[in-house]
Structure 1
Amino acid sequence: MNQATLTQTIEADAISYIKLRSVNVPLKQAVSDAKVLTGKQKPLGEVALLVVEIETKQGVYGMGFSYTLRTGGPAQYAFAKEVAPLLIGEDPSDISRLWSKLTWAGASVGRGGLVAQSIAAFDTALWDLKARRANLPLSKLLGSHRNEVRCYNTSGGYLQASVGEIIDKAEASLARGIGGIKMKVGHPDHKEDIARVEAIRKHFGDSVPLMVDVNQQWDRTTAMRMGKALDDFGLQWIEEPLDAYDVAGHKMLSDALITPVGTGEMLVSAAEVNRYVENEAVDVLMHDAPRIGGITPFLKVAAQAEQRGMIMAPHFVMEIHLHLAAAYEHSTWVEHFEWLEPAFNERFEIRDGKMIVPQRPGLGLTLHEQTDHWTVASCEFR
């Protein structure tokens, strides 16, 4: 087939089939962070996925997903069900245009939050499809800087776990090849936080990268005092010390502390994340592709952060973020959670503190058959 024929064939393709699924993936054990201890939320026992599968007339396939924690799964699915028919007959290559089309379709309820998180599943599926059609891993399609990314584990460091349990889980993670450990802080008694961090640091020594996550539960005064106390432990970063929308407060802390400050996971649009980037208000940018609308807006934010040389450590969903981190020029981390592994057939290789980027086309993932048992709603469009 000559190039002219190939180009004509690709341009003639169109989306012919979409399948949506609302899937509740159970956790082996419910977990609690500082938001639970302060009474704002209940323990987390499952992850609600919105899974989107797309096929074209030529038989090219793509799969993407978004997620919610605790609430919002049925609402995400309901919105996705409303807008999915708008993609039938569209050229799957026009990803940016289709993102805008879906965003405007939901503009009366906003351009972030639920709308963005539902659109993210479609957007990711389209990127997966594009990379599969090119027979490239998504990281290579985007332009990779590395084939492996430093990784750290979070799932073993929640507040319901004792210091002994955190140590046991951390040792298992390190034995698996994971390169760092993040633990939750935010106890009502701040001395307990310091004692727990001190115990973990003493056990593992200075050679193991250690991070802490406050989940937005400190005010500015507490964050400054605790931040200065935590400066003694050589942490990689302090995550979400303040309310997610307190740009000025995060900048104040970032300027005052030795320890890097990070945030971004709770922001629900590219515009919200860019306020942190434009003001250089944090050292570590932690935005989340499914939460801000997918890979398309994630890359736009990353381009701005890249110009400023910021560290990037995307939140959760290593299944997507590993590829995006590999395509970022400067220092990156990816967050290891095993929570979503049961939903997929594949496992990521981890060695020497780094997660290896899969070389399979697209995201390199296929859905496990047990997702059928966890599916609470599904629909199809042609």
Structure 2
Amino acid sequence: MTEIAFLFAEITTEAGYSGIGFGYSKRAGGPGMYAHAKEIADELIGEDPSDIGKIWDKLVWAGASMGRTGLTTQAIAAFDIALWDLKAKRAGLPLAKLLGAHRDAVRCYNTSGGYLSMPLEQVLENVTTSVARGIGGIKIKVGQPDVKEDLRRVEAVRHHLGDTFPLMVDANQQWDRATALRVGRALERFDLTWIEEPVDCYDAEGHARLAATLDTPIATGEMLTSIDEHWNLIRQDASDFVQPDAPRVGGITPFLRIMALADHRKLSLAPHFAMEIHLHLAAAYPGITWLEHFEWLEPLFNERLELRDGHMTVPDRPGLGFSLSEQARAWTSDRVTVTEPRV
């Protein structure tokens, strides 16, 4: 992976309030998402920006013949997130406070220092740097062709961190059911916080079997793009940690519904990527939460999040608390302004 495509939406009301939201695509899909967003953008004109649920439904049905999951919902996410940012700014509140925060800071783990392509020495160096910065947990990738190499790397990181520091592993759907069970049992001795995406992301039954068999918690959900797909996992007890991604599921509106379903089953929440959005949502979740730390997006914004004592602090700035940087605008390859409904 060499680049990520971002779709930004900036919404301004007649009264002068504005909000910003974004969606993204890793590898292919960005141009298609942008094309769909351009086609439906005029559906927002004339609507009351407070009626976010109504607007979300309207945008979904505008492209319903293309489906209500995948690219179509991901294109909606930027609009929906911008509307929530706008609503919180109008109230003069951080989004977490508008939603009803349960905490002012969320435990945060780093995931960008332990990729399979990195030699173990580099991974250990990255772990040291992350812990020194105040990170609260470490996640590394597993799924090597040789399982023994996975175990060697996990053992080295566990020894480096000590017995009690939170450590997670992420297989990114690399294993079949039998391999996931065998490796999962071998990983039990490392007292992991979770094993993430051990099998195919749509294999709810496979995840459920692992969750019922292993002592180590199972985490999954980052690749799913609808409420229904998440509900399929939740209702089958397929994971201990639910991992929705607001830009992928269509924005904050569907994310909140997934949160409610997860809370009903008393599951833990660990949103995927986009910490600038998910910090507020995790802070508003009643149960156990973790936030995934990715520094990749920092050049896009003027503001920074504060990391302290293993937690990311919810900013006191209204809305999401971010504004687009000049660098983000310089990287912009195309833009469109919509001010009138389509005739």
- Alpha-carbon distance between aligned partners in 2 of 1:194 and 1:131, rounded to the nearest angstrom: 46
- Does 2:227 correspond to 1:227? no
1:333 partnered with 2:296: no
Counterparts of residues 98-113 of structure 1 (less than 5 Å): 98-113=55-70
Aligned runs of 1:236-255 on 2, under 5 Å? 236-255=193-212
Give 5+ residue unaligned stretches, structure 2: none
State the partner residue of 2:312: 355
Which residue identity lines up with residue 195 of structure 1 in the other structure? R
**SS of alignment partner, residue 245 of structure 1:** coil
The Cα shift of 1:52 comes to: 0.2
| Counterpart pick for 1:206 among 142, 163, 186 | 163
For residues 72-104 of structure 1, what are the alpha-carbon distances to aligned partners after superposition, in whole Å with 9 as ceiling and x for unaligned?
A: 111111000000011111110010000000000
**3-state SS of paired residue (2:2):** strand
Query: 5 Å matches for 1:233-382?
Result: 233-382=190-339
| CA deviation map 1:243-302 (0-9, x unaligned) | 011001100000000100010001111110011111221111011111011100000010
Distance 2:163 2:5 in 1: 37
Instruction: Tell me the amino acid that sits aligned with residue 163 of structure 2.
Output: D
User: Are residues 1:138 and 2:102 paired?
Assistant: no
Distance in 2 between residues matched to 1:92 and 1:352, nearest whole Å: 37
| % identity of equivalent residues | 60
Alignment of 1:129 onto 2:118: no
1:84 and 2:84 are equivalent in the alignment: no
In the TM superposition, residue 179 of structure 1 has moved relative to its aligned partner by: 0.5
Tell me if the contact between 2:143 and 2:171 (Cα under 8 Å) persists in the aligned partners.
yes
Distance 1:207 1:366 in 2: 38
2:170–2:197 CA contact under 8 A, matched in 1: yes
Check if 1:166 corresponds to 2:115: no
Tell me which of 50, 62, 76 is aligned to 2:19. 62
The offset of 1:170, in angstroms, is 1.3
Letter in 1 for 2:287: H
Counterpart Cα distance in 2 of 1:165 and 1:373? 32
Residue number in structure 2 paired with 1:150: 107
Shift of 1:222: 0.1
Query: What one-letter code is carried by the residue in structure 1 that aligns with 2:295?
Result: E
* 1:118 counterpart (75, 79, 101): 75
Q: CA RMSD in A?
A: 0.7
Q: Deviations over 1:300-324 (max 9, x none)?
A: 0100111111010000000100000
Query: Match of 2:326, SS?
Result: coil
Equivalences, count: 339
Q: Normalising by structure 2, what TM-score?
A: 0.98
2:154 to 197, 202, 218: 197
Q: Which amino acid aligns with 2:283?
A: A
Q: Secondary structure at the match of 1:376?
A: coil
Query: CA offset at residue 207 of structure 1?
Result: 2.5
**Structure 2 residue identity aligned to 1:136:** L
Greater strand fraction, Structure 1 or Structure 2: 1
Q: Does 1:183 align with 2:140?
A: yes
Aligned-partner residue type, residue 269 of structure 1: S
Distance 2:319 2:100 in 1: 13
Asked if 1 retains the 8 angstrom alpha-carbon contact of 2:211 and 2:237, the reply is no
Matched to 2:292, the amino acid is E
**Structure 1 CA distance, aligned partners of 2:112 and 2:331?**
21
Aligned with 2:9 (options 48, 52, 76): 52
Which ranges in structure 1 are unaligned for 5 or more consecutive residues?
1-43
Q: Which moved more, 1:111-120 or 1:204-213?
A: 204-213
- Looking at structure 1, the residues matched to 127 and 281 of structure 2 have their Cα atoms a distance apart, in angstroms, of 25
> SS where residue 150 of structure 2 aligns?
helix
Q: Deviations over 1:28-85 (max 9, x none)?
A: xxxxxxxxxxxxxxxx122211000000000000000011101111111100000001
In 1: Cα distance, 2:277 partner to 2:328 partner:
18
**1:352-377 alpha-carbon deviations (Å, 9 max, x no partner):** 10000111000000000011221111
Aligned equivalents of 1:346, 1:172: Cα separation in 2? 22
